[in-house]
Structure 1
Amino acid sequence: MDDFLNIKTEENVVVVGDVHGCYLEFLQMLDEIKKMYGEKTLVVSVGDTVDRGDFNVEMLNLCFRLKEEGNFIEVQSNHNLKLYRWFKGKKVNISYGMKKTVDQILSLPEDERNRLKEKYINYYETLPLYLIINSSVVVAHAGIKDDMLGKVNKKIKDFVIYGETTGRYTEEGFPERVDWTRERVVNENSPKIVYGHVVYKEPYINNLCYGIDTGCVLGNKLTGYNPFTDEFIFIKAKRRYFSFS
Protein backbone atom coordinates (compact mmCIF):
# COMPACT_ATOMS: atom_id res chain seq x y z
CA MET A 1 0.00 0.00 0.00
CA ASP A 2 1.04 3.63 -0.57
CA ASP A 3 3.31 2.89 -3.51
CA PHE A 4 2.94 3.78 -7.16
CA LEU A 5 2.51 1.24 -9.95
CA ASN A 6 4.47 1.35 -13.19
CA ILE A 7 2.95 -0.77 -15.97
CA LYS A 8 3.45 -1.49 -19.66
CA THR A 9 0.55 -2.45 -21.90
CA GLU A 10 -0.17 -2.78 -25.60
CA GLU A 11 -3.93 -2.68 -25.01
CA ASN A 12 -6.15 0.37 -25.30
CA VAL A 13 -6.55 2.31 -22.06
CA VAL A 14 -9.57 4.35 -20.91
CA VAL A 15 -9.41 6.40 -17.72
CA VAL A 16 -12.81 7.03 -16.07
CA GLY A 17 -13.56 10.03 -13.89
CA ASP A 18 -15.12 10.04 -10.39
CA VAL A 19 -18.13 7.70 -10.34
CA HIS A 20 -19.44 8.45 -6.80
CA GLY A 21 -21.96 5.61 -6.71
CA CYS A 22 -23.31 6.24 -10.24
CA TYR A 23 -23.36 2.52 -10.92
CA LEU A 24 -25.78 2.56 -13.85
CA GLU A 25 -23.79 5.20 -15.70
CA PHE A 26 -20.56 3.29 -15.03
CA LEU A 27 -22.07 0.11 -16.48
CA GLN A 28 -23.04 2.11 -19.55
CA MET A 29 -19.49 3.47 -19.76
CA LEU A 30 -18.05 -0.07 -19.64
CA ASP A 31 -20.36 -1.14 -22.47
CA GLU A 32 -19.31 1.85 -24.57
CA ILE A 33 -15.61 1.20 -23.90
CA LYS A 34 -15.97 -2.43 -25.02
CA LYS A 35 -17.83 -1.38 -28.18
CA MET A 36 -15.20 1.20 -29.09
CA TYR A 37 -11.97 -0.54 -28.09
CA GLY A 38 -12.71 -4.19 -27.36
CA GLU A 39 -12.98 -6.52 -24.37
CA LYS A 40 -9.29 -6.33 -23.42
CA THR A 41 -9.24 -2.57 -22.90
CA LEU A 42 -7.58 -1.57 -19.64
CA VAL A 43 -10.08 0.49 -17.64
CA VAL A 44 -8.51 2.78 -15.04
CA SER A 45 -10.56 4.51 -12.34
CA VAL A 46 -9.32 7.80 -10.88
CA GLY A 47 -11.01 6.70 -7.63
CA ASP A 48 -13.90 8.17 -5.62
CA THR A 49 -16.12 5.34 -6.76
CA VAL A 50 -18.33 5.73 -3.64
CA ASP A 51 -20.33 8.38 -1.72
CA ARG A 52 -23.00 10.89 -2.79
CA GLY A 53 -24.63 8.50 -5.29
CA ASP A 54 -27.23 5.81 -4.67
CA PHE A 55 -25.43 2.58 -5.62
CA ASN A 56 -22.28 2.48 -3.54
CA VAL A 57 -22.32 -1.18 -2.48
CA GLU A 58 -23.06 -2.17 -6.07
CA MET A 59 -20.04 -0.12 -7.21
CA LEU A 60 -17.78 -1.77 -4.64
CA ASN A 61 -18.82 -5.27 -5.65
CA LEU A 62 -18.40 -4.40 -9.32
CA CYS A 63 -14.87 -3.04 -8.72
CA PHE A 64 -13.95 -6.23 -6.83
CA ARG A 65 -15.20 -8.35 -9.73
CA LEU A 66 -13.55 -6.25 -12.44
CA LYS A 67 -10.22 -6.40 -10.65
CA GLU A 68 -10.45 -10.19 -10.28
CA GLU A 69 -11.23 -10.49 -14.00
CA GLY A 70 -8.21 -8.32 -14.90
CA ASN A 71 -8.05 -5.21 -17.10
CA PHE A 72 -9.20 -2.89 -14.29
CA ILE A 73 -7.13 -0.72 -11.97
CA GLU A 74 -8.28 1.89 -9.46
CA VAL A 75 -5.99 4.41 -7.79
CA GLN A 76 -6.28 5.67 -4.21
CA SER A 77 -8.63 8.60 -3.52
CA ASN A 78 -10.01 10.64 -0.65
CA HIS A 79 -13.55 9.23 -0.48
CA ASN A 80 -12.39 5.63 -0.80
CA LEU A 81 -9.64 6.20 1.77
CA LYS A 82 -12.24 7.56 4.19
CA LEU A 83 -14.36 4.44 3.73
CA TYR A 84 -11.26 2.30 4.32
CA ARG A 85 -10.56 4.17 7.56
CA TRP A 86 -14.20 3.75 8.65
CA PHE A 87 -14.05 0.01 8.01
CA LYS A 88 -10.82 -0.12 10.03
CA GLY A 89 -12.63 1.45 13.00
CA LYS A 90 -10.98 4.87 12.74
CA LYS A 91 -12.91 7.97 13.73
CA VAL A 92 -14.09 9.74 10.57
CA ASN A 93 -16.57 12.53 9.94
CA ILE A 94 -19.50 10.90 8.17
CA SER A 95 -20.70 13.71 5.94
CA TYR A 96 -24.01 13.51 4.08
CA GLY A 97 -22.35 12.12 0.98
CA MET A 98 -20.61 9.38 2.93
CA LYS A 99 -23.72 8.73 5.04
CA LYS A 100 -25.43 7.32 1.93
CA THR A 101 -22.64 4.75 1.62
CA VAL A 102 -22.59 3.92 5.33
CA ASP A 103 -26.38 3.59 5.53
CA GLN A 104 -26.35 1.24 2.55
CA ILE A 105 -23.65 -0.91 4.16
CA LEU A 106 -25.40 -0.97 7.55
CA SER A 107 -28.63 -2.11 5.90
CA LEU A 108 -26.94 -5.34 4.77
CA PRO A 109 -27.29 -8.58 6.78
CA GLU A 110 -24.43 -8.87 9.27
CA ASP A 111 -22.62 -11.72 7.49
CA GLU A 112 -22.79 -9.90 4.16
CA ARG A 113 -21.60 -6.68 5.82
CA ASN A 114 -18.62 -8.47 7.36
CA ARG A 115 -17.70 -10.05 4.04
CA LEU A 116 -17.86 -6.66 2.33
CA LYS A 117 -15.70 -5.11 5.04
CA GLU A 118 -13.01 -7.77 4.70
CA LYS A 119 -13.05 -7.64 0.90
CA TYR A 120 -12.87 -3.87 0.81
CA ILE A 121 -10.00 -3.61 3.28
CA ASN A 122 -8.03 -6.17 1.27
CA TYR A 123 -8.96 -4.44 -2.00
CA TYR A 124 -8.05 -0.93 -0.92
CA GLU A 125 -4.71 -2.05 0.50
CA THR A 126 -3.69 -3.23 -2.99
CA LEU A 127 -4.50 0.06 -4.75
CA PRO A 128 -1.56 2.08 -6.05
CA LEU A 129 -1.21 5.67 -4.91
CA TYR A 130 -0.82 6.61 -8.56
CA LEU A 131 -0.28 4.80 -11.85
CA ILE A 132 2.30 5.29 -14.61
CA ILE A 133 1.37 3.68 -17.95
CA ASN A 134 3.97 3.10 -20.67
CA SER A 135 6.07 5.92 -19.16
CA SER A 136 3.82 8.40 -20.99
CA VAL A 137 0.58 8.61 -19.00
CA VAL A 138 0.10 9.17 -15.28
CA VAL A 139 -3.20 8.66 -13.43
CA ALA A 140 -3.51 10.26 -10.00
CA HIS A 141 -6.74 11.06 -8.17
CA ALA A 142 -6.20 14.78 -7.49
CA GLY A 143 -3.19 15.15 -9.79
CA ILE A 144 0.56 15.05 -9.32
CA LYS A 145 3.52 17.30 -10.09
CA ASP A 146 6.42 16.21 -12.25
CA ASP A 147 8.97 16.35 -9.44
CA MET A 148 6.82 13.88 -7.47
CA LEU A 149 6.84 11.17 -10.14
CA GLY A 150 8.56 7.96 -9.14
CA LYS A 151 8.44 8.92 -5.47
CA VAL A 152 6.15 8.36 -2.49
CA ASN A 153 6.08 10.17 0.85
CA LYS A 154 3.43 11.76 3.08
CA LYS A 155 3.54 15.13 1.29
CA ILE A 156 3.11 13.47 -2.10
CA LYS A 157 0.33 11.20 -0.82
CA ASP A 158 -1.57 14.19 0.58
CA PHE A 159 -1.26 16.05 -2.73
CA VAL A 160 -2.26 13.04 -4.85
CA ILE A 161 -5.31 12.21 -2.72
CA TYR A 162 -6.52 15.64 -1.57
CA GLY A 163 -4.92 18.22 -3.87
CA GLU A 164 -4.33 21.80 -2.72
CA THR A 165 -6.99 24.23 -1.53
CA THR A 166 -7.05 27.94 -0.67
CA GLY A 167 -9.29 27.49 2.39
CA ARG A 168 -12.14 29.29 0.63
CA TYR A 169 -15.27 27.88 -1.02
CA THR A 170 -16.84 28.47 -4.43
CA GLU A 171 -20.46 29.59 -4.96
CA GLU A 172 -21.36 25.94 -5.70
CA GLY A 173 -20.02 24.89 -2.29
CA PHE A 174 -16.80 23.24 -3.48
CA PRO A 175 -13.50 23.94 -1.73
CA GLU A 176 -11.61 26.47 -3.86
CA ARG A 177 -8.69 24.55 -5.28
CA VAL A 178 -5.24 25.64 -6.40
CA ASP A 179 -4.83 24.99 -10.13
CA TRP A 180 -1.48 23.20 -10.03
CA THR A 181 -1.64 22.60 -13.81
CA ARG A 182 -0.94 26.28 -14.56
CA GLU A 183 2.60 26.07 -13.20
CA ARG A 184 3.50 22.98 -15.20
CA VAL A 185 6.26 23.37 -17.78
CA VAL A 186 5.99 20.71 -20.48
CA ASN A 187 8.42 19.41 -23.08
CA GLU A 188 8.47 16.54 -25.59
CA ASN A 189 9.14 14.04 -22.78
CA SER A 190 6.37 15.21 -20.44
CA PRO A 191 3.72 12.56 -19.68
CA LYS A 192 0.02 13.24 -19.86
CA ILE A 193 -1.46 13.50 -16.35
CA VAL A 194 -5.08 12.38 -16.02
CA TYR A 195 -6.91 13.18 -12.78
CA GLY A 196 -10.30 13.62 -11.13
CA HIS A 197 -11.29 15.12 -7.76
CA VAL A 198 -12.01 18.64 -9.07
CA VAL A 199 -15.41 18.95 -10.75
CA TYR A 200 -15.63 20.59 -14.16
CA LYS A 201 -18.60 20.87 -16.51
CA GLU A 202 -16.35 19.75 -19.37
CA PRO A 203 -12.94 18.05 -19.26
CA TYR A 204 -10.31 20.59 -18.26
CA ILE A 205 -7.17 20.38 -20.41
CA ASN A 206 -4.09 22.40 -19.55
CA ASN A 207 -0.36 21.72 -20.06
CA LEU A 208 -0.98 18.03 -20.87
CA CYS A 209 -3.09 17.65 -17.71
CA TYR A 210 -6.62 16.29 -18.13
CA GLY A 211 -9.23 16.85 -15.41
CA ILE A 212 -12.05 14.39 -16.11
CA ASP A 213 -14.39 14.61 -13.11
CA THR A 214 -17.43 16.06 -14.84
CA GLY A 215 -19.85 15.71 -11.95
CA CYS A 216 -21.97 12.71 -12.94
CA VAL A 217 -23.36 12.48 -9.40
CA LEU A 218 -24.36 16.16 -9.62
CA GLY A 219 -26.47 15.46 -12.71
CA ASN A 220 -23.91 16.27 -15.43
CA LYS A 221 -22.02 13.36 -17.02
CA LEU A 222 -19.44 10.62 -16.53
CA THR A 223 -16.29 11.02 -18.61
CA GLY A 224 -13.89 8.43 -19.99
CA TYR A 225 -10.65 9.37 -21.74
CA ASN A 226 -8.32 7.33 -23.93
CA PRO A 227 -4.97 9.11 -23.54
CA PHE A 228 -3.36 7.24 -26.44
CA THR A 229 -6.01 8.04 -29.06
CA ASP A 230 -6.98 11.36 -27.40
CA GLU A 231 -10.68 10.42 -27.47
CA PHE A 232 -13.39 11.13 -24.90
CA ILE A 233 -16.48 9.10 -24.01
CA PHE A 234 -19.40 10.83 -22.27
CA ILE A 235 -22.30 9.15 -20.47
CA LYS A 236 -25.08 11.50 -19.44
CA ALA A 237 -26.20 11.24 -15.81
CA LYS A 238 -29.59 9.64 -15.40
CA ARG A 239 -30.44 12.24 -12.77
CA ARG A 240 -28.95 14.45 -10.08
CA TYR A 241 -28.13 12.21 -7.11
CA PHE A 242 -26.53 14.77 -4.83
CA SER A 243 -26.58 18.48 -4.10
CA PHE A 244 -24.37 20.57 -1.80
CA SER A 245 -27.20 23.00 -1.03
Structure 2
Amino acid sequence: MDRFLQISSDERLFIIGDVHGCYYEFYSLIEKIFARYGEDTTIISVGDTVDRGDFNLKTIKLCFELKEKRNFYEVQSNHNLKLYRWMKGKNVRISTGMKKTVDEIMALCEDEREYLRERYINYYQSLPLYIIVNDSVVVAHAGIKDEMIGKVDEKVRDFVIFGETTGKYTEDGFPERVDWTKYRKINENSPKIVYGHVVYPEPYINNRCYGIDTGCVLGNKLTAYNPFTDEFIFERARKVYFSFD
Protein backbone atom coordinates (compact mmCIF):
# COMPACT_ATOMS: atom_id res chain seq x y z
CA MET A 1 0.00 0.00 0.00
CA ASP A 2 2.72 2.50 0.89
CA ARG A 3 3.89 3.35 -2.61
CA PHE A 4 3.45 6.10 -5.11
CA LEU A 5 2.54 5.57 -8.74
CA GLN A 6 4.07 7.17 -11.83
CA ILE A 7 1.98 7.24 -15.00
CA SER A 8 2.16 8.82 -18.43
CA SER A 9 -0.81 10.51 -20.07
CA ASP A 10 -1.69 12.69 -23.00
CA GLU A 11 -3.72 15.87 -22.46
CA ARG A 12 -6.95 13.92 -22.06
CA LEU A 13 -6.80 13.61 -18.29
CA PHE A 14 -9.16 14.88 -15.60
CA ILE A 15 -8.79 14.82 -11.85
CA ILE A 16 -12.04 14.69 -9.85
CA GLY A 17 -12.53 16.12 -6.34
CA ASP A 18 -14.06 14.47 -3.27
CA VAL A 19 -17.24 12.59 -4.22
CA HIS A 20 -18.49 11.55 -0.74
CA GLY A 21 -21.23 9.25 -1.98
CA CYS A 22 -22.66 11.69 -4.55
CA TYR A 23 -23.00 8.93 -7.12
CA TYR A 24 -25.24 10.69 -9.64
CA GLU A 25 -23.07 13.80 -9.79
CA PHE A 26 -19.96 11.60 -10.11
CA TYR A 27 -21.48 9.52 -12.89
CA SER A 28 -22.80 12.58 -14.74
CA LEU A 29 -19.46 14.38 -14.54
CA ILE A 30 -17.62 11.37 -15.95
CA GLU A 31 -20.18 11.11 -18.75
CA LYS A 32 -19.56 14.79 -19.62
CA ILE A 33 -15.81 14.14 -19.76
CA PHE A 34 -16.19 11.03 -21.91
CA ALA A 35 -18.62 12.78 -24.26
CA ARG A 36 -16.18 15.63 -24.88
CA TYR A 37 -12.86 13.80 -24.88
CA GLY A 38 -13.55 10.11 -25.45
CA GLU A 39 -14.12 7.13 -23.21
CA ASP A 40 -10.39 6.39 -23.02
CA THR A 41 -9.77 9.69 -21.19
CA THR A 42 -7.78 9.12 -18.00
CA ILE A 43 -9.69 9.85 -14.78
CA ILE A 44 -8.00 10.26 -11.39
CA SER A 45 -9.98 10.50 -8.15
CA VAL A 46 -8.46 12.41 -5.23
CA GLY A 47 -10.24 9.95 -2.92
CA ASP A 48 -12.88 10.39 -0.20
CA THR A 49 -15.42 8.76 -2.48
CA VAL A 50 -17.50 7.57 0.51
CA ASP A 51 -19.36 8.91 3.59
CA ARG A 52 -21.80 11.78 4.11
CA GLY A 53 -23.65 11.25 0.83
CA ASP A 54 -26.62 8.97 0.11
CA PHE A 55 -25.20 6.57 -2.49
CA ASN A 56 -21.97 5.18 -1.09
CA LEU A 57 -22.37 1.60 -2.32
CA LYS A 58 -23.22 2.74 -5.85
CA THR A 59 -20.17 5.01 -5.78
CA ILE A 60 -17.88 2.21 -4.57
CA LYS A 61 -19.18 -0.14 -7.26
CA LEU A 62 -18.71 2.53 -9.93
CA CYS A 63 -15.08 2.92 -8.85
CA PHE A 64 -14.63 -0.85 -9.10
CA GLU A 65 -16.11 -0.83 -12.60
CA LEU A 66 -14.08 2.16 -13.77
CA LYS A 67 -10.85 0.62 -12.54
CA GLU A 68 -11.62 -2.64 -14.33
CA LYS A 69 -12.73 -1.15 -17.65
CA ARG A 70 -11.29 2.37 -17.96
CA ASN A 71 -8.15 4.42 -17.41
CA PHE A 72 -9.17 5.13 -13.81
CA TYR A 73 -7.01 5.70 -10.76
CA GLU A 74 -7.72 6.66 -7.16
CA VAL A 75 -5.35 7.73 -4.39
CA GLN A 76 -5.56 6.85 -0.71
CA SER A 77 -7.65 9.18 1.48
CA ASN A 78 -8.80 9.51 5.07
CA HIS A 79 -12.47 8.54 4.69
CA ASN A 80 -11.71 5.56 2.48
CA LEU A 81 -8.88 4.49 4.80
CA LYS A 82 -11.29 4.51 7.73
CA LEU A 83 -13.77 2.38 5.80
CA TYR A 84 -10.96 -0.01 4.86
CA ARG A 85 -9.96 -0.33 8.53
CA TRP A 86 -13.61 -0.94 9.50
CA MET A 87 -13.86 -3.60 6.79
CA LYS A 88 -10.74 -5.21 8.30
CA GLY A 89 -12.46 -5.42 11.68
CA LYS A 90 -10.51 -2.59 13.33
CA ASN A 91 -12.10 -0.54 16.10
CA VAL A 92 -12.92 2.81 14.47
CA ARG A 93 -15.20 5.62 15.59
CA ILE A 94 -18.20 5.73 13.27
CA SER A 95 -19.00 9.38 12.66
CA THR A 96 -22.37 10.65 11.43
CA GLY A 97 -21.07 10.76 7.86
CA MET A 98 -19.54 7.30 8.01
CA LYS A 99 -22.71 5.85 9.53
CA LYS A 100 -24.48 6.41 6.22
CA THR A 101 -21.92 4.17 4.48
CA VAL A 102 -22.01 1.55 7.23
CA ASP A 103 -25.82 1.46 7.24
CA GLU A 104 -25.85 0.80 3.50
CA ILE A 105 -23.39 -2.05 3.91
CA MET A 106 -25.18 -3.58 6.89
CA ALA A 107 -28.46 -3.59 4.92
CA LEU A 108 -26.92 -6.13 2.52
CA CYS A 109 -27.38 -9.84 3.09
CA GLU A 110 -24.42 -11.62 4.69
CA ASP A 111 -23.07 -13.08 1.46
CA GLU A 112 -23.20 -9.71 -0.29
CA ARG A 113 -21.49 -8.02 2.67
CA GLU A 114 -18.68 -10.55 2.70
CA TYR A 115 -18.19 -10.27 -1.06
CA LEU A 116 -18.07 -6.47 -0.83
CA ARG A 117 -15.75 -6.59 2.17
CA GLU A 118 -13.17 -8.77 0.40
CA ARG A 119 -13.41 -6.78 -2.80
CA TYR A 120 -13.08 -3.42 -1.08
CA ILE A 121 -10.11 -4.53 1.01
CA ASN A 122 -8.32 -5.69 -2.13
CA TYR A 123 -9.28 -2.49 -3.95
CA TYR A 124 -8.04 -0.14 -1.26
CA GLN A 125 -4.81 -2.08 -0.80
CA SER A 126 -4.10 -1.53 -4.50
CA LEU A 127 -4.32 2.28 -4.22
CA PRO A 128 -1.15 4.38 -4.27
CA LEU A 129 -0.48 7.11 -1.71
CA TYR A 130 -0.19 9.61 -4.54
CA ILE A 131 0.26 9.71 -8.31
CA ILE A 132 2.86 11.50 -10.41
CA VAL A 133 1.77 12.20 -13.99
CA ASN A 134 4.39 12.92 -16.66
CA ASP A 135 6.71 14.22 -13.90
CA SER A 136 4.74 17.48 -14.09
CA VAL A 137 1.58 16.84 -12.02
CA VAL A 138 1.18 15.25 -8.60
CA VAL A 139 -2.22 14.10 -7.30
CA ALA A 140 -2.50 13.57 -3.53
CA HIS A 141 -5.62 13.55 -1.38
CA ALA A 142 -4.67 16.26 1.13
CA GLY A 143 -1.72 17.61 -0.86
CA ILE A 144 2.01 17.05 -0.70
CA LYS A 145 5.11 19.15 -0.12
CA ASP A 146 7.84 19.22 -2.74
CA GLU A 147 10.40 17.58 -0.47
CA MET A 148 8.00 14.66 0.04
CA ILE A 149 7.59 13.82 -3.66
CA GLY A 150 9.20 10.47 -4.39
CA LYS A 151 9.00 9.34 -0.76
CA VAL A 152 6.53 7.11 1.13
CA ASP A 153 7.58 7.20 4.78
CA GLU A 154 5.18 7.65 7.72
CA LYS A 155 5.50 11.44 7.74
CA VAL A 156 4.61 11.61 4.04
CA ARG A 157 1.74 9.16 4.47
CA ASP A 158 0.17 11.17 7.30
CA PHE A 159 0.45 14.46 5.41
CA VAL A 160 -0.86 13.07 2.12
CA ILE A 161 -3.89 11.40 3.71
CA PHE A 162 -4.75 13.75 6.61
CA GLY A 163 -3.02 17.07 5.90
CA GLU A 164 -2.09 19.50 8.69
CA THR A 165 -4.47 21.06 11.23
CA THR A 166 -4.15 23.67 13.98
CA GLY A 167 -6.31 21.76 16.47
CA LYS A 168 -9.08 24.35 16.17
CA TYR A 169 -12.39 24.24 14.25
CA THR A 170 -13.96 26.68 11.81
CA GLU A 171 -17.49 28.13 12.14
CA ASP A 172 -18.66 25.51 9.60
CA GLY A 173 -17.43 22.68 11.81
CA PHE A 174 -14.36 21.76 9.78
CA PRO A 175 -10.97 21.26 11.41
CA GLU A 176 -8.92 24.43 10.88
CA ARG A 177 -6.26 23.44 8.43
CA VAL A 178 -2.81 24.81 7.76
CA ASP A 179 -2.65 26.24 4.24
CA TRP A 180 0.62 24.62 3.23
CA THR A 181 0.30 26.07 -0.30
CA LYS A 182 1.13 29.56 1.01
CA TYR A 183 4.65 28.54 1.92
CA ARG A 184 5.49 26.70 -1.29
CA LYS A 185 8.49 28.07 -3.19
CA ILE A 186 8.01 27.48 -6.90
CA ASN A 187 10.02 27.83 -10.08
CA GLU A 188 9.42 27.04 -13.75
CA ASN A 189 10.01 23.34 -13.11
CA SER A 190 7.71 22.98 -10.12
CA PRO A 191 4.97 20.39 -10.72
CA LYS A 192 1.32 21.21 -10.34
CA ILE A 193 -0.13 19.66 -7.20
CA VAL A 194 -3.82 18.75 -7.32
CA TYR A 195 -5.60 17.78 -4.12
CA GLY A 196 -8.95 17.53 -2.31
CA HIS A 197 -9.72 17.11 1.40
CA VAL A 198 -10.22 20.81 2.15
CA VAL A 199 -13.58 22.22 1.03
CA TYR A 200 -13.63 25.44 -1.00
CA PRO A 201 -16.64 27.13 -2.65
CA GLU A 202 -14.58 27.38 -5.86
CA PRO A 203 -11.34 25.68 -6.89
CA TYR A 204 -8.51 27.15 -4.82
CA ILE A 205 -5.39 27.97 -6.83
CA ASN A 206 -2.18 29.05 -5.15
CA ASN A 207 1.51 28.53 -6.04
CA ARG A 208 0.69 25.90 -8.68
CA CYS A 209 -1.46 24.00 -6.16
CA TYR A 210 -5.09 23.27 -7.02
CA GLY A 211 -7.65 22.44 -4.33
CA ILE A 212 -10.65 20.87 -6.08
CA ASP A 213 -12.95 19.68 -3.29
CA THR A 214 -15.85 22.06 -3.89
CA GLY A 215 -18.28 20.49 -1.43
CA CYS A 216 -20.67 18.57 -3.64
CA VAL A 217 -22.01 16.63 -0.66
CA LEU A 218 -22.71 19.95 1.09
CA GLY A 219 -24.89 21.09 -1.81
CA ASN A 220 -22.33 22.95 -3.94
CA LYS A 221 -20.71 21.12 -6.88
CA LEU A 222 -18.33 18.39 -7.98
CA THR A 223 -15.21 19.54 -9.81
CA ALA A 224 -13.02 17.95 -12.48
CA TYR A 225 -9.75 19.58 -13.53
CA ASN A 226 -7.43 19.01 -16.48
CA PRO A 227 -3.93 20.12 -15.39
CA PHE A 228 -2.59 20.13 -18.96
CA THR A 229 -5.24 22.34 -20.54
CA ASP A 230 -6.18 24.18 -17.32
CA GLU A 231 -9.85 23.35 -17.91
CA PHE A 232 -12.47 22.88 -15.21
CA ILE A 233 -15.73 20.95 -15.64
CA PHE A 234 -18.40 21.17 -12.93
CA GLU A 235 -21.48 19.21 -11.94
CA ARG A 236 -23.96 20.89 -9.62
CA ALA A 237 -25.11 18.96 -6.55
CA ARG A 238 -28.62 17.52 -6.81
CA LYS A 239 -29.27 18.53 -3.20
CA VAL A 240 -27.65 19.07 0.19
CA TYR A 241 -26.75 15.56 1.34
CA PHE A 242 -24.95 16.46 4.55
CA SER A 243 -24.60 19.36 6.94
CA PHE A 244 -22.46 19.99 10.00
CA ASP A 245 -25.30 21.92 11.69
Normalized against structure 1, the TM-score is what? Answer: 0.99
2:72 matches 1:72: yes
Cα distance in 1 between the residues matched to 2:82 and 2:208:
29
Q: Which amino acid aligns with 1:235?
A: E
Which residues of 2 match residues 33-44 of structure 1 at below 5 A? 33-44=33-44
Provide, for residues 183-224 of structure 1, a one-character-per-residue CA deviation record: whole Å limited to 9, x for no partner: 001111100000000000000000000000000000000000
Q: Which amino acid aligns with 2:48?
A: D
How many matched pairs? 245
Partner residue in 2 for 1:194:
194
1:11 shift after superposition: 5.2
Provide, for residues 124-172 of structure 1, a one-character-per-residue CA deviation record: whole Å limited to 9, x for no partner: 0000000000000000000000000000101100000000000000000
Partner residue in 2 for 1:60:
60
Partner residue in 1 for 2:160:
160
Extract unaligned runs of 5+ from structure 1.
none
1:9 shift after superposition: 1.9
Cα distance in 2 between the residues matched to 1:70 and 1:213:
23
Partner residue in 2 for 1:45:
45
Please, what is the CA RMSD of the aligned residues? 0.6
Cα distance in 2 between the residues matched to 1:96 and 1:9:
38
Which residues of 2 match residues 1-245 of structure 1 at below 5 A? 1-10=1-10, 12-245=12-245
Cα distance in 1 between the residues matched to 2:11 and 2:108:
38
1:70 shift after superposition: 2.9
Q: Is the 8 A contact 2:141 2:161 kept in 1?
A: yes
Runs (4+) of structure 1 exceeding 2 A deviation are: none
1:51 shift after superposition: 0.1
Cα distance in 1 between the residues matched to 2:99 and 2:12:
36
Provide, for residues 56-109 of structure 1, a one-character-per-residue CA deviation record: whole Å limited to 9, x for no partner: 000111101100113000000000000000000001000000000000000001
1:178 shift after superposition: 0.1
Cα distance in 1 between the residues matched to 2:110 and 2:68:
24
Q: Is the 8 A contact 1:11 1:42 kept in 2?
A: no
Cα distance in 1 between the residues matched to 2:11 and 2:69:
15
Cα distance in 1 between the residues matched to 2:210 and 2:138:
10
Cα distance in 2 between the residues matched to 1:194 and 1:124:
20
Extract unaligned runs of 5+ from structure 2.
none
Cα distance in 1 between the residues matched to 2:218 and 2:70:
30
Cα distance in 2 between the residues matched to 1:14 and 1:69:
17
Q: Which amino acid aligns with 2:205?
A: I
Q: Is the 8 A contact 2:135 2:191 kept in 1?
A: yes
Cα distance in 1 between the residues matched to 2:233 and 2:217:
17
Q: Is the 8 A contact 1:11 1:40 kept in 2?
A: no
Q: Which amino acid aligns with 1:212?
A: I
SS class of match (2:138): strand
Cα distance in 1 between the residues matched to 2:66 and 2:164:
31
